[in-house]
Structure 1
Amino acid sequence: MRVREVDPRESRSSSNLLQSSFWAHFKQRIGHRTIALRFESARGRGTVLAVHRTTGCGQHLYVPHGPEMTLPEAEQGAFLLQLSDAIAAAVDCNPTFLRFDLPWRSPFTEDGHWLGRPEPRLQEMRMNFGSGGLHLRKAPSDIQPPDTVIIDLQHGETSLLARMKAKTRYNIRLAARHGVQVCDEGVEKLQEWHDLYRQTCERQRIVCEQADYFGKLFDTAAADRAANRGQAPRLHLIAARHNRRMVAGLICAIWKDKAYYLYGASSRAHGRLMAPYAVQWHTMLTARAAGCRSYDMCGVPPENDPAHPMYGLYRFKTGFGGQVHHFCGCWDYPVDEEQYCAHAQAQASHAAYHLRG
């Protein structure tokens, strides 16, 4: 396999937002080095975008939602191992390891039913089958959620509503009866939204990005369009108001024919208004009007388990009529075994959830 570094703009044709030239530009704006690598192999060719990261245990390359190759499961491990070897030899940053947040579907389903992920060592045996060793390791935690809800938007409004759970339809209408109004806000309302987002992160005990992060996200999209740097997604800040006060909102990205729910916020004090339901419905209609075929709600627990700490999120997102999809999650290729083990042990005690790549 041959690998060479290329201009990140070669990723402009990517169908995945996190492998796009826009995402490379955005990560550069917030202080990361990004590397685009063109590969050619007997199985095909393509480009992967990698983000260079530095930790206390050295450097590594993170590939969000890549490589974008469709392969039979039996060929995935061998291909990923060859690609990893070639990337490690081609780059100049001397990485401790490579991390791939794979876009491939999880093999642990049967007739559409989720079987659950076995313990990591068994996953590694399956991924490395035929390679002569356990060269690819299941990462101690995932960065992008490996389980998500994807809604098919190729239906009329009546059909979309009919596919929802009855309680979800009821709450959408209840929000309207309460006087909740939803609209696409301008970027000038980002600070107001961020105040609500910060409260939400504190309540849910998840990582909170600073306001400047979101400002640069919108600025990058605007700059890419103005400078004609490939293609840029359309970003939307969709918010619900009650008596002029913002009570819920989300940031949505429309890229190619897909819409992505990136970040959300809501007010606990105004929970009875059911504003988040109205916001999601408005987002679905906005994406559908823009020509999107699907809406990725980006992250749920893997199954309908009331004991899961984020069971409420599962009930909320699955209520909108989408299907739960399971992916392989993060896989590592150690280059320096000793430093990698130190990093993996440190990370295992700080498991990530829904952290953007």
Structure 2
Amino acid sequence: MAREARLIGPEEEKRFDAFVAGHPKGHFLQSYGWGEVKASTGWQPLRLVLEEEGRIIAAASLLKRRLPYINKAILYAPRGPVVDFHDPDLFSEILAAISRVARQEGAILLKIDPDIPESDRAVKELLQEKGFRLAARGTGFDGVQPRHVFRLDITPPLEELLANMHSKTRYNIRLAEKKGVVIKEDCTLEDLPVFYEILKETTLRDHFLVRSYNYFETMWREMVERGYAKLFLALYQGEAIAGTLAFIMGDKAWYLYGASSNRHRNVMPNYLLQWTMIRWAKEQGCTMYDFRGVPGDLDENNPLYGLYRFKKGFNGVFTEFVGEYDLVYSPFFYWLWQTAFPLYSHGFRRLLFWRKKARAAEE
């Protein structure tokens, strides 16, 4: 049967997302809307489909970015492509289609970080056979997407999910309720600045960068309004003290952004927020809830161990993915990108962080 690969436009957005949502390896990072979010940060989204008799059988949302100073680009398929990796012929076809796009766009590499467990030797062998090389090897948050996550099967009844949690986690959920923490689920765009202020407070406390408010406004427009994300706020005595952004695609949900104030942390709002999001995901028909990144280094002296312990308390399964793989189209420019560009990027990010911290101290 004849198969055709082609790039699509916005008129096929719903059809594209329907395929991604219904595929076992579909991910919100491969949605049409997420490409629009990344377009606000300098990436150009390209949506590719592979069809058979008019039916999509594989797809990829590709993010293209021009490299500084040279007329070249990189392609990145976050948690993609959306394809059955255990069908080598189908994977070869979508990969060949991506490579044609890469040549047209002057790309020096294709980066992927598929939703495939580290234990899947067959897929790792397939990637190596196709010329991919492992890119990120760290145990922390070295890659673009986290390599280690906690995932919770939420198909059991709520009572069973709660009973399976660590006793301290259950205690903290009930403590938050007893203390009067209320979760606001009907958030609107007017609540977004409140969440963002708490997020800025969190980043200063925990020493990481935060994107601009405009980025979150774009995320609201492209993901929340499409029904692929939802904002939750924890209120205590009428004050918002914590918040989260959850994402959904098909039968899967992800916890992506979390923020907590320095005030009233003793009433444990983050535990009740997670429990509320799990219940929400289950109500939406989801079967899996992803807590997102945790460190791969499980030493208790690791500064990120507290994050691991918090997420582990909900009884999710510690999951390690195969990691980032690069398919190199231009070895020389790839070497240049691997050596010179990281130095430029690291210096710029550090400068940006300290400028933001200085401005916050002046306010």
Q: 2:79 maps to what in 1?
A: 65
Equivalent residue for 1:193, pick from 192, 195, 199: 195
Residues 209-218 or 22-31, more deviating: 22-31
Distance verdict in 2 for CA 1:256–1:85, change over 3 Å: closer
Structure 1: which amino acid aligns with 2:144?
I
Indicate yes or no: 2:240 matched with 1:246.
yes
Counterpart in the other structure of 2:358: none
Residue matched to 1:181: 182
CA pair 237-129 structure 1, distance change in 2 beyond 3 A: closer
Per-residue deviation, 1:85: 4.9
Q: CA deviation at 1:331?
A: 0.8
Q: Determine the C-alpha separation between the residues in 2 that align with 1:84 and 1:154.
A: 34
CA distance in 2, matches of 1:339, 1:215: 35
Partner amino acid for 1:247? I
Q: TM-score, normalised by structure 2?
A: 0.79
Provide the C-alpha distance between the structure 2 equivalents of 1:205 and 1:331, rounded to a whole number of angstroms: 28
Q: Distance in 1 between matches of 2:322 and 2:294?
A: 14
Cα deviation digits, residues 44-76 of structure 1 (max 9, x gap): 94111101112336410110111222334xx76
**What is residue 203 of structure 1 aligned with on the other side?**
205
After superposition, the C-alpha distances for 1:151-202 in whole angstroms (9 at most, x for unaligned) are: 2222222111101000100111111222222121222111111011012122
Are 1:104 and 2:98 an aligned pair? no
User: Is 2:16 the partner of 1:11?
Assistant: yes
Q: Give the whole-Å Cα distance in 1 for the aligned partners of 2:288 and 2:135.
A: 29
Structure 2 residue ranges without an equivalent (≥5): 22-26, 137-141, 350-363
1:63 partner amino acid:
A
The amino acid across from 2:85 in the alignment is L
Q: TM-score, normalised by structure 1?
A: 0.80
Give the Cα–Cα distance (whole angstroms) in 2 for the partners of residues 151 and 236 of structure 1. Answer: 19
CA distance, structure 1, for counterparts of residue 243 and residue 200 of structure 2: 12
SS in 2 for 1:190: helix
- Report percent identity of matched pairs: 28
Determine which structure has the larger helix proportion and give its number: 2
Q: 1:311 is matched with which residue?
A: 305
Q: Distance in 1 between matches of 2:129 and 2:132?
A: 12
Matching of residue 55 in structure 1 with residue 49 in structure 2:
no
Is residue 5–residue 50 contact of structure 2 (8 Å, CA) maintained in 1? yes
Which structure has more relative contact order (CA 8 Å, sep 6+)? It is 1
- 1:309 is aligned with what amino acid? P
Cα pair 1:3 1:87 within 8 Å, conserved: no
* Distance in 2 between residues matched to 1:30 and 1:339, nearest whole Å: 23
1:228-247 to structure 2, matched below 5 A, reads: 232-247=226-241
In structure 2, distance between residues paired with 1:198 and 1:240: 16
Native 8 Å contact 1:61 1:99 kept in 2: yes
Cα distance change, pair 257–108 in 1 and its aligned pair in 2 (3 A)? closer
Q: Secondary structure at the residue paired with 1:103?
A: coil
Structure 1 vs Structure 2 CA RMSD: 2.9
Aligned length: 322
Q: Compute the displacement of 1:25 (Å).
A: 3.1
Structure 1 position 82, deviation (Å):
6.7
Which residue does 2:163 correspond to in 1? 162
Whole-Å separation in 2 of the counterparts to 1:328 and 1:7 = 31
1:346 CA displacement:
4.5
